[in-house]
Structure 1
């Protein structure tokens, strides 16, 4: 609000009230899950989709009437940063676990514990074993408008791995026979050999 007051003051002439305009770029509001129809509904005095973060980190939808466009932006921005914060907490926790494994490996190297080093390296670099392999391919959109969701997809991929491993173990199936491959298509301005990339 203070910025608006300054703008009004600088544009005022001879005691008249100044004015200001707000320009919202589609790509900027997309990351807060605000669509053009939401803005139109607000301008027409209609209820707007209201998002809510649940305890399971899922987002539910309902309808809500906002008093101002600021309330809409603030509401969506708050939800966006809450989900991003929760996703980052999971990512940091996983990074902490990997860090501990790295420290354990370094400690074993310094101590010359060959067997411990071998066990860690085998576990961390273990590939797919056996001839009967099940592969799941995940296609991801990494174009510009979806860039804000890529960070969250890291945690989603980790959840997929864990759930798949749990199901395989419950059915006495060797988890090493299961593969997940990620295929990502990028911005259309990329070179032909770069627009579609995939993991091994």
Structure 2
């Protein structure tokens, strides 16, 4: 099997790591520890495939955790949607009305805050995109709670995402942006 540098980029393996292994020098590896923060460990590898194995396992664990969090959020949204459908079927117009107003309310008033999040969407950062999405969901929930506590309209906070990609991407894909959003799940 032939592995190209681009193939290894998403696992954060660099040419210098491969050369260090060939020269018998140690390589610094970021390890995911579920109980604590991530840690960096310097380790000697017998061959490149051992490093690839460790990096793939770390990548998979990180992806799994991010995906699990995403599934939990989707499960909660599904539960809310199911409640809405039950209210719709039973003719509970108050509940239906409240749900629709909450989900479709746009920005009102003059008080607003707009935040732009610039993200690295190059190949080496692909494993962090789902984490970023989850973090944005958490951020929206916290902002919403703070705004509610201060009797400020929740929809006065807007976020726009801007991503930049590898230089070898098509011209129209190098820099992309989302519309302004007031809900994290749009």
- TM-score, normalised relative to structure 1: 0.76
Aligned-residue RMSD, C-alpha: 2.5
Q: More displaced, 138-147 or 105-114?
A: 138-147
Partners of 1:66 and 1:32 in 2: CA distance = 16
Partners of 2:139 and 2:36 in 1: CA distance = 16
Partners of 1:193 and 1:81 in 2: CA distance = 26
- 2:160 is the alignment partner of 1:197: no
Partners of 2:135 and 2:25 in 1: CA distance = 35
Secondary structure of the residue aligned to 2:3 is coil
Secondary structure of the residue aligned to 2:45 is coil
Partners of 1:194 and 1:24 in 2: CA distance = 25
Deviation at 1:35, TM superposition (A): 1.3
Partners of 2:131 and 2:5 in 1: CA distance = 21
- 2:17 is the alignment partner of 1:48: no
Of 136, 139, 144, 2:118 maps to 139
Runs of 5+ consecutive residues of structure 2 not aligned to the other structure? 181-186
Secondary structure of the residue aligned to 2:155 is helix
Q: Tell me the residue number matched to 2:43.
A: 64
Deviation at 1:116, TM superposition (A): 0.8
Secondary structure of the residue aligned to 1:79 is helix
Partners of 2:6 and 2:33 in 1: CA distance = 26
Partners of 1:27 and 1:66 in 2: CA distance = 21
- 2:80 is the alignment partner of 1:101: yes
Secondary structure of the residue aligned to 1:138 is strand
Deviation at 1:159, TM superposition (A): 2.5
| Residues 133-171 of structure 1: per-residue CA shift (max 9 Å, x gap) | 11110112334554443333221221222343355456x
The structure with the largest alpha-carbon Rg is 1
Deviation at 1:84, TM superposition (A): 0.5
Q: Tell me the residue number matched to 1:128.
A: 107
- TM-score, normalised relative to structure 2: 0.82
Structure number with greater CO (CA < 8 Å, separation at least 6) is 2
